Amino acid sequence: MTSAVQGLILLIVVIVLFVTQWIPATATALLSVVLFAVTGTASYETCFSGFSNDIIIMLIGVLIVGQAMLQSGLAARIGQGCLCLSKGNERRFLLYILISVSFTSMFVDNTTTVAIMLPVIAAASRKSNGSVRFMNFVMPTSLAAMVGGACLMIGCTVNLTGQSILTEYTDYSFGMTDFTVATLPVLAVTILYVMFLGYRCGGKIWGDEKHLEDEQEAVARFANGGGSAASGKPDRKCVLMIAVMVVMVSLFLFTDLPLGLSACIAALLCVIFRLVNLKDALPKMDWDVVLRLACTLGLAAALRECGFCELISGAFVSAFGNDIPPLLILVLVLIVSTLISQFMGNSTVVLVLGAAVIPIVVSLGYNPLAITMALILGSSFAWMTPIAGACIGISYSAGYQFTDYVKYTWPLTILMWSVLIIWLPIVFPFAA
């Protein structure tokens, strides 16, 4: 049995474990690289090479900066600023929340961003005497955080996973602002949808008595647990935090420093200026994400070393020929990744589909950037069920019904697909 066939069998076992969740996803990711190393399908050095990857160093640095945003109070002040500027107008408040959440989630974990905003929204709803509906905000806030997080490479682990797999299997790579250019049209469409069509649809979906009762319970729970509101002018920590973020983004965009080194510089600045207490921050950081991503990178390298990519691409070309239109591949990848990610971890979807699709695209002679971006964004924007991910799942506590998610988001999903199918081939031409 060849190493490529062994790799295929092991990958099938790993996929089954990811889907069934017989053991936690992080344990499955670690098991995958252990199996490849123990069976000799790939070398030990290759299987665990993800732990020294620049992407992992960058992720740790960005997580520290995200904790600094929380501890400095900047994230909470952004939410309070939205409330003050809206002056009690629900539509205006909704617009400000969507914009601020989209921006904040580029640097802070998406789920954490939503969690910060929920007490602010609940307090506004309680004081409004019914003029600010909690449910009109919570699900849209999760959607904005998901799209905003995709606007920068550092915004979510799905972006980092896709970037790593792309560089592992090809000579291509995304720039930091490529994600911004690709995602901004979707962000604009999302905000417009929430403000107009979604606003009207939402009022009908959760306008019955049962939803109103569940909403009132949720408002009482979040408003009571939200802590005190920020007030007054921004303090020294908030100003310094803004300065550190400007430095970090500038290092990413305007220098040739490795991304991991740039993120470490920003993290160290947060420590030096006392913006973050590492003793408090380190236990709160999502180390599951770090470990899972490192193992995912190692698995991608192991699949390449064992010859899996050549096996899959060769079999595909033999079965279907080499004249398949790249746009058709993009459409299929976009739709399939979105649907699978409703029930399976989106980083896992990017890994599995990317390991199969990207080598095929390259073997057909196409530029893989557009199709890889379609895979990343399709997997990221899984919002039609509350079990699709933590960011959309946190909104379930606002009193929504399971079917509300499909009813509210299916038009947005169609719009998202349409925008990306038109936009991505323009930004990333298929010609190699």
First to last CA, the chain: 34
CA distance 116 to 121: 10
* Distance from C-alpha of 243 to C-alpha of 246, rounded to nearest angstrom: 5
Please, how many CA atoms are within 13 Å of residue 403, restricted to the half-sphere of its CB? Answer: 3
Q: Compute the distance between CA of residue 37 and CA of residue 299 in angstroms, rounded to an integer.
A: 10
Q: Which residues contact 302 (CB under 8 A, 6 or more apart)?
A: 7, 33, 36, 37, 41, 42, 46, 47
Radius of gyration of the chain (CA): 22
**Residue 123: predicted pLDDT:** 82
Helix, strand, coil percent values for the chain (each to nearest 5):
75, 0, 25
Instruction: Report CA-CA distances (Å) from 35 to 41, 73, 140, 143.
Output: 8, 44, 41, 37
With CA atoms as reference, report the closest residue to 140 among 385, 408, 379, 399: 408
For the chain (432 residues), the mean pLDDT of every run of 10, in chain order, is 89 86 87 95 93 88 85 79 82 93 87 83 82 92 95 88 90 91 97 96 91 90 58 74 90 88 93 91 84 88 87 81 89 94 85 89 93 96 88 89 94 97 97 82
Q: How far apart are CA 296 and CA 299, in angstroms?
A: 5
CB 367 within 8 A of CB 174: no
> d(Cα 14, Cα 61) in Å, to the nearest integer?
29
> What is the CB neighbour count within 10 angstroms for residue 125?
26
Give the per-residue pLDDT at 413: 97
Kindly tell me the sign of the dihedral angle through the C-alpha atoms of 232, 235, 238, 242.
positive
**Cβ–Cβ under 8 Å, residues 70 and 113:** no
What letter does residue 397 receive in the DSSP assignment? G
- What pLDDT score was predicted for residue 225? 52
Give the burial class of 389: count Cβ atoms within 10 A of its Cβ; 0-12 exposed, 13-18 middle, 19 or more buried.
buried
Beta bridge partners of residue 366, listed in sequence order: 431
- Sequence-distant (6+) residues with CB within 8 A of 388 are 341, 342, 343, 346, 382
List the beta bridge partners of residue 431: 366
Exposure of 215 in the CB half-sphere (CA atoms within 13 A) = 24
Residue 92: CA count within 13 A, CB half-sphere: 9
- Report pLDDT for 93: 92
Give CA–CA dist 9/219, Å, rounded.
49
- Residue type at 77? R
Q: What is the pLDDT of residue 58?
A: 86
278 class by beta-carbon count within 10 Å (0-12 exposed, 13-18 middle, 19+ buried): middle
Q: Three-state DSSP class for 328?
A: helix
Closest to 55 in 3D by CA, of 272, 289, 375, 392: 289
Q: How many CB atoms lie within 10 A of CB 322?
A: 11
- Residues 203, 362: Cα–Cα separation, whole Å: 47
